[in-house]
Each structure stands twice: as C-alpha cells, then as structure tokens.
Chains A and B, each alone.
Chain A
Amino acid sequence: MSWRWALRSLRSSRARFHGRSHELFFSTALCSARSSRISIYPENPTKVISCREGRCWGARGLHDVRYQLDLDRSSEEEPVDPFSLVADELSLIADRLRSMVIAEVPKLASAAEYFFKMGVEGKRFRPTVLLHMASALNMPIPWSATDNLFGSLSGDLRTRQQRIAEITEMIHVASLLHDDVLDDADTRRGIGSLNIVMGNKLSVLAGDFLLSRACIALSSLGNTEVVSLMATAVEHLVNGETMQMTTSAEKRCSMEYYLQKTFYKTASLISNSCKCVAILAGQTAEVSMLAYNYGQNLGLAYQLIDDVLDFTGTSSSLGKGSLSDIRHGIVTAPILFAIEEYPQLRKIVDRGLKEPADIDIALDYLEKSQGIKKTKELAAVHADHAIKAIDAFPESDNENVHISRRALVDLTHRVLTRTK
C-alpha cells in the first residue's frame, strides 16, 4: 500500500519536517496513492476537513506531525485508525512502562516485566483511549506563545497525561495477575499465565509490586484528586473480583448485579482514568464528568460485546466462541437476557453449569432467545451514550482536537463491530 510507504518515509524524515513544501509533496503523494480500503464501518465519516494551510509545527513535535499527515488522509474521506494515530506515542509509553517496572531482585523483575515485554502488551486499548482523550480535550492555546514556553507547558501536560496511561496499564496488569491466580488461568495474551509459569505466590507479589509502582507514579503527578480517582478504581477492581468470586444463586441471575460487577471490573478503570486525563488538563468538573461518562459507557459496551464474542467467536453463530465464561460458571448478559425469556433456563444455571450437558442446554436456550441480540443492542446503547458525551465537549477550532474526538467516536464503533 503506497500510502503506508508515504507514512513510513514521512516518519523517518519527521525531524526535518518543516515548512509547507514538504506538506504539499506528501499530501500530493498521498492523494495520488489512494488505497482502496474497504470500509468496515456501517457509516462513512461524512465530515470533510480541508487541508491546512502551511504552518510550521516544528515546535509541537512529532505528535502533531502525525496528525498533520492523517489530517491529509482524512481529507480523502478515509477512516483513520485510532490506534495508528497514536502508534508512536504508544511505543513511547511501552518503553517507559518497561523501565518503570524494573525490580532489583531478578526473580521479581522477570515476573513484573512479564506482560510488558514486546509482543505481549495486549491490544493497548486503554492507552489509545486515554491519549485520544488527552488530545480531544487539548483546548487551543494561542499560537503566539513563545516556542519554549508552549513546548514545555504542553509537553509537560502531555507527559503527565501519558503517565496516566502508564499508571492505568500497570494497575490493569496487576489486576490481571491476581485474577489469573484466582481463576487458575492457564494462558493470558496468548502465552502461559504468570501463575503457571512462575507460581501463584510470585504472581501475587508481582501484582502488588506493579500496584505499588503505579501508586508511586501516581503520587509523582502531585494531584490529589487524580490519586483519589485511581485509588477508587483500584478499590472497584477488587470489589468486582470479589463480587464475581462470591455470588449467591440469586445474584448470579440478576442483571443489576451483573452490570454493577461489570462496571467495577471493567468500566471503572477506564472511566476514572479518562476523568484523570481531563482533570490534569485543567478541565471543568462538567467536562471531566463527560470524559468519565465516555469511559464508563465505552467500557460497558466493550464488556458486553466481549460477553457476546465468548459465545459467538469469530462467526456470528453460537458455540464457535471459546465459551470460557459459561464453562467457568460465569453468567453473562446474553444468558441473563435469555433467562428473562425462558425462566426454565434459570434452573439449569442454578445447577452450576458444571455438566457439559447443561451447558449444551443453556446454549440451546440462548440460541432460541434474543439474548445475543439484546446484549448487542445494550452495547449499542452504551456506545451511543459514549458518543453523546464526546459531542457534548466544548467546541474547538483545533484540527487535532477534532481528529481525536472523531477517533474516540470511531473507537465506540470498533468496540461494537470487533470480532475478537
């Protein structure tokens, strides 16, 4: 794909990227090297942004250079990939994370670094969301500000917001390590789980270690509200896991309980970290709540689709998914909806879903019911709320802000349409 080539050569020459002539060259190259990407989204982006007049963005650094390039791409009405928009920053964050989790004791070091190694960092969904949230709330600063001052201010803010992404990842991985011990998991992110590879105790200790490093990084931001929010997120993660481990039969079949648990286990971390990003940017309480709402709804939508995929896998038919939830006796939204339609399914669920025959019966009911469909609908409702939150952000002329807000909206679509 020749536009990718253009991207790569631009990236390598970004240090020399100044002035209009280069812009025109590359945007021409891109315009002529149209790739025929098949849009996987139900609707095409309808907004067309005009190419920026030449401006020297040297002071703003590579971050904005990337946006410049992708801005030109969007002028061709191609969908921009939220992940590649922040790819360089994600690499930077990954590198910093690796350095932040280094421990003195070799055994602890290998345990702590386990899920931060290249190739096993996961989908990096959370950092992507947070970086776009940071940009989406980056209200325009007068261009007349001196380069240095502007550079140091925005650079410092950006670094602090990146730190939120790092902290969020550390907390997330810490919770994964403990969850795997609690669930006796064998694999995680395509490799052996740490508890299998290095034992339960080391996994637990490594999780504690990551949590402590996250707290230290958190305190270095010097913002007590941010510390509170992330501490709350940590507490919620534990609450969610506790709720999952110790449910009564009554609660297992309660949609309310399930959604609360899902909020705690999945949505709270991303919603609170979105809010932190907003707070660091000096946003008002209202805007910070919008950021929170986006994260919360995105997280819930994500989990609901996750539940569906566990049944459907990469096909849209049942039973092709890993069925790992149901096999662990975890009752998720599709089953809960199915129970509403077929109360007799409740009895089977109450038996604990330990028998393969019971699982087959449950899947049967699920297929007859509207369970999958209703779950997808609920996810779409949440995705919609997330979009509304973005739309309610204060207006901005800044192109980058627009791009990131679009990326955040795009992410909600991706959450709904992903197949794995």
Chain B
Amino acid sequence: MVVAEVPKLASAAEYFFKMGVEGKRFRPTVLLLMASALNMPIPQSAADEVFDNLSRDLRSRQQSIAEITEMIHVASLLHDDVLDDAETRRGIGSLNFVMGNKLAVLAGDFLLSRACVALASLKNTEVVSLLATVVEHLVTGETMQMATTSEQRCSMEYYLQKTYYKTASLISNSCKAVALLAGQTAEVSMLAYNYGRNLGLAYQLIDDVLDFTGTSSSLGKGSLSDIHHGIVTAPILFAMEEYPQLREVVDRGFDDPTDVDVALDYLGKSRGIERTRELAAEHAKHAIEAINTLPESDDEDVQISRRALVDLTQRVLTRSK
C-alpha cells in the first residue's frame, strides 16, 4: 500500500531489487541449499503446528528467511551509506546529498520494518531473536569499523570479530533460522550456524585478498578500495606480523598515495596474501566438516544439496571476483 502511494519509496525499493540483480545472490543460494540439505523427515515434530510443516509450507517459510535476510542486508547497506553533515555539505549540489541521505534512512527503515513484519508472520520467536541479533551485529560491526583506535586497527582479533559481525553473522544466523524452521534439533541448528559462519568468514577473507589482487594473482591489480578507505584487512595484518615497520605506515593512514605503495610493497614481500588464503581455506574446511556432521539421509535431493554446499566453499576459495 505504502509503496504504491509513495513514488520515492518505490524507487528505493527498486534499488533493493537492483542490488539483488547485481549481487551474486550468494546468501539466498546458501539458504535455499541449506533448506534442502536439512529436508529430512522429523520423527517427532517439536513444532506445535505439525500440519503447518507440510513441505511446501515449510519451503515458503524458509524462502521467507532468504527474503528477510536480503532485506536486512540491503537496509544495512543503505544505512551504512548515511553521511554525516560535514560530508553532505562537501557534496556537489548539497541538496541532492541531503535528500539522498534522508531517502537512504527512510528506505532502510522501510526495509527493516518489512523484515520485522515478515519475521513476525513466521510465528517463531526464536527466529525473530536470531535475525534481530543479526541487525545488532551489523550495526556493531559497522560501528567497529567507524571508530577504531590505532591499536584496534592493527589487531587481527578485532578484525576477525568485526568481520564476523559485518559479514558472517548474517549468513550464520539465517542458516540457523532455516534449520529451526525445519524443526531441527539444537545440535543440527548449530551445525547449520557453523557452516554459515565459516563460509562467511572464508568469503570475506578472499574478498580482502581480491581487493589487492583482482583477477590476477599479482598485487595491485585489484581495486584497492579497502586500503584507500583506510580499512586494514587480513593481508596487511599478516604482513605487519612479519614487518613491524609496516605498522608505522598503517598508523599514518593512507591519505598519501606513496604510503599505499609502500604498504603494497611490504605486502608483496610478505606472505600476507598467502596466509590469508590459508586462513580462508581453514574456515572452508570447518564449513565442510559441519555439513559432513549433519544427520545422515538417503534422500537424493538432500545429498545433492549437501554436495552443493560443500562445492560452494570451494568456489568461495577459488573465485577470482
């Protein structure tokens, strides 16, 4: 109703769909596969509404999780892009920036509220709690990124925690939600969670590498967007362990292009890229272990989906963009 009445909101919603098209639809793919991978007959349904859990209805509820997850993801992107006053004034034609800002807030709120309503309609309070926690984590992760001390910026622990919040939490908790809707046990739900978490972390680590290497395996061909935004990622953090002098350069911030070159230089000499890939591979392995620990099933579709989930971990590692 609201969308039809308010044209501006409709265009914000369009932005949402465009994002879905441009993005790799990675998350929904994982979630749908997880749903299939867990599609096992439950001997004694824990859920009250046994008849609600007919496979078709269950499937659409699980699809709902995928939709809700995307809405939350895009809402957080919109809100992350909100500019502070100083920045809006710097923009050309400041009115556009200001209106853009407001629309970003409103559109994000719109998506979040729709996500809330959709969550509520699933009639499962634990699922509500999980996805609400995701929102909390996204906000926490973004704030961690906004407000780091120099100490924190150079801490691998801080970086991994932030990465969990910003990237892995969404996928891990939504995997868990999919499992819960299927009436799975707490143990199985945790396995789903672990898969998502490790997959998410692996994904982000490779993302960090690609930002440096791009489609080639050599440095500097990537977009280097992280470093230009002053965001210190795993490869640099590993490089700093080998070359403590790199720390000084990092502390200066990366406003100076020569500093960027110096850092890339150290990175090239170090095993930073390699170690990041190794860490990603380790997480991918944990993800596979989680899938292998799932209760056995004879069902062909279940097995296909589980293989696909394993396959995804490899694709995450080997992708070049």
Measured CB to CB, the residues of A under 8 A from B are 103-108, 178, 181-182, 195, 199-202, 204-206, 208-209, 211-213, 215-216, 218-224, 227-228, 230-232, 234-235, 237-239, 241-243, 245-246
Q: Is B114 an interface residue (CB 8 A)?
A: yes
What is the total of A-B residue contacts with beta carbons within 8 Å? 147
B139 interface neighbour in A200, A212, A215, A242, Cβ under 8 Å: A212
Q: Which A residue's beta carbon lies closest to that of B135?
A: A212
B105 interface neighbour in A107, A178, A231, Cβ under 8 Å: A178
Q: Which A residue's beta carbon lies closest to that of B144?
A: A105
Q: Tell me if B132 and A235 are in contact (CB < 8 A).
A: no
A200 interface neighbour in B8, B85, B124, B132, Cβ under 8 Å: B85
Q: Considering the chains assembled together, what is the distance between the CA atoms of A237 and B110 in angstroms?
A: 9
Chain B interface residue count, CB cutoff 8 Å, equals 50
Given the complex, which residues of A lie within 8 Å of B5, measured CB to CB?
Answer: 243
A contact patch SS: helix
One of B25-33, B52-60, B76-84, B254-262 contacting the partner: B76-84
Q: Is B136 an interface residue (CB 8 A)?
A: yes
Measured CB to CB, the residues of B under 8 A from A are 2, 5-9, 75-76, 79-80, 82-85, 88, 101-102, 105-106, 108-110, 112-114, 116-117, 119-121, 123-126, 128-129, 131-136, 138-140, 142-144, 146-147
A208 interface neighbour in B85, B119, B135, Cβ under 8 Å: B135
**Contacts A219-B132, A231-B116 given; does A178 touch B146 at CB 8 Å:** no
Given the complex, which residues of B lie within 8 Å of A230, measured CB to CB?
Answer: 120
A182 interface neighbour in B102, B126, B131, Cβ under 8 Å: B102
Q: Considering the chains assembled together, what is the distance between the CA atoms of A235 and B1 in angstroms?
A: 12
**Contacts A215-B128, A246-B8 given; does A208 touch B106 at CB 8 Å:** no
Q: Considering the chains assembled together, what is the distance between the CA atoms of A212 and B128 in angstroms?
A: 10
* Minimum C-beta distance from B173 to chain A (A): 12
Q: Tell me if B140 and A242 are in contact (CB < 8 A).
A: no
Q: Considering the chains assembled together, what is the distance between the CA atoms of A201 and B8 in angstroms?
A: 21
Q: Considering the chains assembled together, what is the distance between the CA atoms of A241 and B139 in angstroms?
A: 22
Given the complex, which residues of A lie within 8 Å of B136, measured CB to CB?
Answer: 209, 212-213, 216
Q: Tell me if B128 and A218 are in contact (CB < 8 A).
A: yes
Q: Considering the chains assembled together, what is the distance between the CA atoms of A242 and B114 in angstroms?
A: 14
**Contacts A224-B124, A227-B120, A228-B120 given; does A200 touch B144 at CB 8 Å:** no
Q: Considering the chains assembled together, what is the distance between the CA atoms of A221 and B6 in angstroms?
A: 34
Q: Considering the chains assembled together, what is the distance between the CA atoms of A224 and B114 in angstroms?
A: 16
B117 interface neighbour in A104, A211, A223, A232, Cβ under 8 Å: A232
Q: Considering the chains assembled together, what is the distance between the CA atoms of A215 and B135 in angstroms?
A: 10
Given the complex, which residues of A lie within 8 Å of B106, measured CB to CB?
Answer: 182, 238, 241-242, 245
Q: Tell me if A246 and B119 are in contact (CB < 8 A).
A: no
* Minimum C-beta distance from A262 to chain B (A): 16
A205 interface neighbour in B8, B124, B134, B139, Cβ under 8 Å: B139
**Contacts A216-B133, A242-B106 given; does A227 touch B114 at CB 8 Å:** no
* Minimum C-beta distance from B274 to chain A (A): 31
Given the complex, which residues of A lie within 8 Å of B138, measured CB to CB?
Answer: 208
Beyond A218-B125, A227-B128, A231-B113, 4 additional contacts (C-beta under 8 Å) are: A105-B143, A106-B147, A215-B119, A219-B129
Q: Tell me if A219 and B143 are in contact (CB < 8 A).
A: no
Q: Considering the chains assembled together, what is the distance between the CA atoms of A200 and B134 in angstroms?
A: 22
* Minimum C-beta distance from A153 to chain B (A): 21
Q: Tell me if A216 and B129 are in contact (CB < 8 A).
A: yes
* Minimum C-beta distance from B268 to chain A (A): 33
B132 interface neighbour in A201, A212, A241, A245, Cβ under 8 Å: A212
**Contacts A181-B105, A204-B108 given; does A209 touch B120 at CB 8 Å:** no
* Minimum C-beta distance from B74 to chain A (A): 13
Q: Considering the chains assembled together, what is the distance between the CA atoms of A222 and B135 in angstroms?
A: 20
Q: Tell me if A182 and B146 are in contact (CB < 8 A).
A: no
* Minimum C-beta distance from B94 to chain A (A): 12
Q: Tell me if B132 and A216 are in contact (CB < 8 A).
A: yes
**Contacts A215-B129, A238-B113 given; does A208 touch B120 at CB 8 Å:** no
28 A-B pairs within 8 Å (CB atoms) are namely A103-B140, A103-B143, A105-B140, A108-B143, A181-B82, A181-B102, A182-B106, A200-B84, A201-B83, A201-B84, A204-B79, A205-B139, A211-B112, A212-B136, A219-B128, A220-B125, A220-B129, A221-B125, A224-B123, A227-B128, A231-B120, A232-B120, A234-B112, A235-B114, A238-B110, A241-B109, A242-B6, A242-B106
Q: Tell me if B79 and A208 are in contact (CB < 8 A).
A: yes
Q: Considering the chains assembled together, what is the distance between the CA atoms of A224 and B134 in angstroms?
A: 19
Q: Which 10 A-B pairs have the closest CB atoms?
A: A215-B132, A212-B135, A219-B129, A231-B120, A212-B136, A219-B128, A219-B125, A231-B116, A199-B84, A228-B120
Q: Which A residue's beta carbon lies closest to that of B117?
A: A231
Given the complex, which residues of B lie within 8 Å of A206, measured CB to CB?
Answer: 139
Q: Tell me if A205 and B129 are in contact (CB < 8 A).
A: no
Given the complex, which residues of A lie within 8 Å of B121, measured CB to CB?
Answer: 228
Given the complex, which residues of A lie within 8 Å of B135, measured CB to CB?
Answer: 208-209, 211-212, 215
Q: Considering the chains assembled together, what is the distance between the CA atoms of A243 and B3 in angstroms?
A: 11
Given the complex, which residues of A lie within 8 Å of B129, measured CB to CB?
Answer: 215-216, 219-220
B2 interface neighbour in A108, A181, A208, A242, Cβ under 8 Å: A242
Q: Tell me if B101 and A200 are in contact (CB < 8 A).
A: yes
Q: Which A residue's beta carbon lies closest to that of B140?
A: A105
Q: Tell me if B6 and A243 are in contact (CB < 8 A).
A: yes
Q: Tell me if A204 and B82 are in contact (CB < 8 A).
A: yes
Q: Considering the chains assembled together, what is the distance between the CA atoms of A223 and B319 in angstroms?
A: 44
Given the complex, which residues of B lie within 8 Å of A181, measured CB to CB?
Answer: 82, 101-102, 105
